């Protein structure tokens, strides 16, 4: 057997392409690595700290952590490799794929990174290298930065040399970088007093929680310990509606894992409501472990596997119910038929006088001749009672994925109506119905009802 060649020179770019925002990816992976290494395990983390510092002489970004384990020999070897990690089975670890550290090389013009670490036994290690190669034996820190003392505490320090010009200006915007950190790591800052420091201009700024976290909710609803399809439990789902608008980075419900926000589920509502809703959702060990398995490598989303589909459905349902309690009942405006008839006559008259080619006679270039004597008529009105929406989450569902069907019925009359809806979903390969059900319900006038079609899982063994 021959070993397949791998072009590691492109590794940084290929990994960076996975991130919607590489600066967001940088802070997320740097903090995630340090938070996973917090020390002592299970104890107080008041000594844990991470510093982002810009060093202008070498145009370098320095990332240094305190109150961590540092890297042992085994962790050191994993750090030097791509996709080489032992975190995937550890549900409590924020990291999982062993690739985020290669994003550091992407920020350097020469893809050059220096790393120092001191482990729990007091052993010091140093390396320098690019995405393709590294050395941890031949040189020392002073060979690259003369006169700079080496690391003197347990933990890790990373130097990203010669930051790319197009990234430096955006990176050094302390306010924006701080906002990205808070949006991802608000939980560990708020609940564990994690200290994250930014020093890009010679002065240290401690990243703090924005004022919205201390604002009183106009309406708030918590859900505790609710089971999701025997996959585990939602430990907490908290939905808040504030008196004022939330910063855009905090719109919606934050999905939390290992103290980190993976993504946010936005509220499907009017902009005035949407901009005032925020909250979070976290999970027990069992469900969090399952979610980690389908988390994207960039820690910014999930694949469409069964567990995430069920979690998303649960959060969206609770969020929609919450919004319905906020939304005022919409009254239908009913116009007299005589008024509508007069409006149609007026429109026809205006068209005849000012755009006769649209009503009769010779058509405009490329147009169709209108039959003599015809007049414009209003479009056929929609039925006041109708299926307002019937849409799947995806056009194609693979095995091990789930189908989510968004369905709603609307009643625009002023009367309460008794209704029945029959839903049938077929699976072509199974040659039969995948799902069938009948929904009987009442719907008051001027309202809409969501039909809760259950999430359907597709497995080869049980089609």
pLDDT at site 163: 97
| Higher local confidence (pLDDT), 4 or 296 | 296
pLDDT at site 281: 98
User: Is a pLDDT exceeding 90 seen at residue 379?
Assistant: no
Average pLDDT over residues 353-364: 53
User: Is a pLDDT exceeding 80 seen at residue 210?
Assistant: yes
Average pLDDT over residues 70-90: 76
Average pLDDT over residues 35-39: 93
Per cent of the chain over pLDDT 90 is 57
Identify the band that residue 328 occupies on the pLDDT scale cut at 50, 70 and 90. Answer: low
* 246-250, 408-412, 442-446, 458-462 — most confident range: 246-250
User: Is a pLDDT exceeding 90 seen at residue 350?
Assistant: no
User: Is a pLDDT exceeding 50 seen at residue 150?
Assistant: yes
Identify the band that residue 458 occupies on the pLDDT scale cut at 50, 70 and 90. Answer: confident
User: Is a pLDDT exceeding 60 seen at residue 111?
Assistant: yes
pLDDT in tens, 269-295: 889 999 999 999 999 999 999 999 999
pTM score, two decimals? 0.73
Identify the band that residue 371 occupies on the pLDDT scale cut at 50, 70 and 90. Answer: low
Identify the band that residue 3 occupies on the pLDDT scale cut at 50, 70 and 90. Answer: low
| Higher local confidence (pLDDT), 241 or 215 | 241
Rounded distance, CA 125 to CA 137, Å?
9
pLDDT at site 381: 77
Average pLDDT over residues 247-269: 95
Rounded distance, CA 364 to CA 168, Å?
57
Identify the band that residue 399 occupies on the pLDDT scale cut at 50, 70 and 90. Answer: confident
pLDDT at site 123: 98
Average pLDDT over residues 341-353: 73
Q: Work out whether strand 195-199 and strand 49-55 pair parallel, antiparallel, or are unpaired.
A: parallel
User: Is a pLDDT exceeding 60 seen at residue 88?
Assistant: no
Q: Do the Cβ atoms of 39 and 68 come closer than 8 Å?
A: yes
pLDDT at site 364: 43
pLDDT in tens, 161-171: 999 999 999 99
pLDDT at site 366: 46
pLDDT at site 455: 82
As a whole number, the mean pLDDT across the chain is 86
Identify the band that residue 365 occupies on the pLDDT scale cut at 50, 70 and 90. Answer: very low
pLDDT in tens, 292-303: 999 998 999 999
Per cent of the chain over pLDDT 70 is 84
pLDDT at site 95: 44
pLDDT at site 9: 67
User: Is a pLDDT exceeding 60 seen at residue 360?
Assistant: no
Average pLDDT over residues 221-241: 95
Distance of CA 137 to the CA centre of its chain: 41
């Amino acid at each position: 057997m021959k070993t397949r060649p791998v072009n590691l020179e492109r590794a940084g770019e290929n990994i960076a392409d996975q991130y919607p925002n590489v600066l967001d990816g940088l802070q997320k992976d740097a903090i995630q690595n340090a938070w996973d290494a917090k020390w002592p395990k299970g104890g107080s983390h008041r000594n844990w700290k991470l510093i982002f510092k810009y060093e202008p002489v070498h145009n370098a970004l320095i990332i240094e952590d305190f109150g961590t384990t540092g890297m042992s020999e085994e962790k050191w070897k994993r750090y030097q490799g791509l996709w080489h990690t032992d975190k995937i089975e550890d549900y409590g670890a924020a990291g999982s794929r062993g690739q985020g550290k290669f994003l550091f090389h992407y920020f350097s013009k020469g893809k050059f990174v220096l790393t120092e670490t001191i482990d729990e036994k007091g052993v010091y290690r140093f390396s320098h290298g690019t995405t393709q190669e590294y050395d941890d034996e031949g040189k020392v820190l002073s060979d690259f930065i003369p006169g700079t003392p080496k690391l003197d505490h347990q933990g890790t320090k990373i130097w990203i040399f010669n930051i790319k010009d197009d990234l430096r200006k955006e990176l050094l915007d302390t306010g924006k970088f701080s906002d990205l950190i808070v949006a991802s790591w608000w939980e560990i800052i708020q609940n564990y007093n994690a200290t994250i420091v930014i020093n890009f201009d010679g002065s240290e700024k401690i990243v703090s929680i924005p004022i919205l976290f201390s604002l009183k909710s106009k309406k708030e609803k918590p859900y505790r310990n609710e089971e999701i399809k025997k996959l585990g439990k939602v430990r907490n789902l908290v939905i808040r509606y504030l008196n004022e608008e939330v910063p855009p980075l905090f719109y919606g419900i934050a999905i939390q894992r290992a103290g980190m926000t993976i993504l946010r589920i936005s509220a499907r509502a009017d902009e005035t409501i949407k901009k005032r809703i925020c909250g979070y959702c976290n999970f027990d060990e069992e469900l969090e472990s399952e979610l980690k398995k389908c988390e994207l490598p960039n820690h910014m989303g999930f694949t469409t596997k069964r567990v995430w589909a069920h979690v998303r459905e649960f959060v969206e349902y609770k969020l929609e119910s919450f919004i319905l309690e906020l939304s005022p009942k919409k009254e239908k405006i009913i116009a007299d038929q005589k008024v509508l008839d007069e409006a149609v006559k007026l429109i026809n008259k205006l068209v005849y006088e000012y755009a006769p080619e649209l009503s009769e006679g010779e058509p405009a270039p490329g147009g169709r001749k209108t039959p003599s004597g015809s007049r414009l008529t209003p479009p056929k009105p929609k039925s006041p009672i109708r299926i307002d929406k019937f849409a799947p989450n995806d056009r194609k569902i693979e095995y091990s994925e789930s189908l989510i069907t968004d369905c709603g019925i609307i009643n625009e009359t002023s009367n309460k109506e008794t209704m029945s809806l029959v839903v049938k979903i077929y699976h072509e390969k199974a040659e039969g119905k995948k799902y069938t059900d009948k929904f009987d319900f009442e719907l008051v006038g001027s309202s809409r009802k969501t039909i809760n079609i259950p999430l359907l899982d597709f497995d080869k063994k049980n089609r």
